[in-house]
Amino acid sequence: MKKQVTVEKSFCDVCGKEASGYTNCDCCGKELCYECGNTELKEYKHAVHFSGSGDGSYCHECDAQLRGNGDKKHAAYRKIEALRNEESGWHEDFKKRMTAAESELSGLSA
């Protein structure tokens, strides 16, 4: 028996290529392949110390738009991102002072 079947396939909304997996923009639903997602999507982690399911991804257009219109979910993601950046800032500051203190000591004992 021969049958003609219609197969639904997904293609990347940016480069038009067929990929094995896609990431959707959480706002407009645009589907992006892995490579395009790397450059075209802004990723937001869902927690300060964790990431994984629940993370947000927005295409640049939606990211810019949501920044302006006070979207609550997007604002919460941005708050978490700010805290993550703040924390890595502390680490950098701490590392700087640590290196300075250690080289101070090794300078004295030389």
User: Is 25 near Zn ion (CB under 5 A)?
Assistant: yes
Stretch that binds Zn ion, among 6-14, 43-51, 70-78, 85-93 (CB under 5 A): 6-14
- CA atoms within 13 Å, Cβ hemisphere of 20: 0
User: Is 64 near Zn ion (CB under 5 A)?
Assistant: no
User: Is 66 near Zn ion (CB under 5 A)?
Assistant: no
88-107: contacts with Zn ion (CB under 5 A): none
Residue with tokens 């030389």: 110
Rounded to 5°, the CA angle 14-62-15 comes to 5
By CB under 5 A, name the one of 28, 47, 82, 98 that touches Zn ion.
Answer: 28
Three-state DSSP class for residue 39? helix
User: Is 12 near Zn ion (CB under 5 A)?
Assistant: yes
CB 1 within 8 A of CB 22: no
The number of beta carbons lying within 10 Å of the beta carbon of residue 38 is: 11
By CB under 5 A, name the one of 33, 41, 66, 80 that touches Zn ion.
Answer: 33
Interface residues with Zn ion (CB under 5 A) are 12, 14-15, 25, 27-28, 30, 33, 36, 59, 62
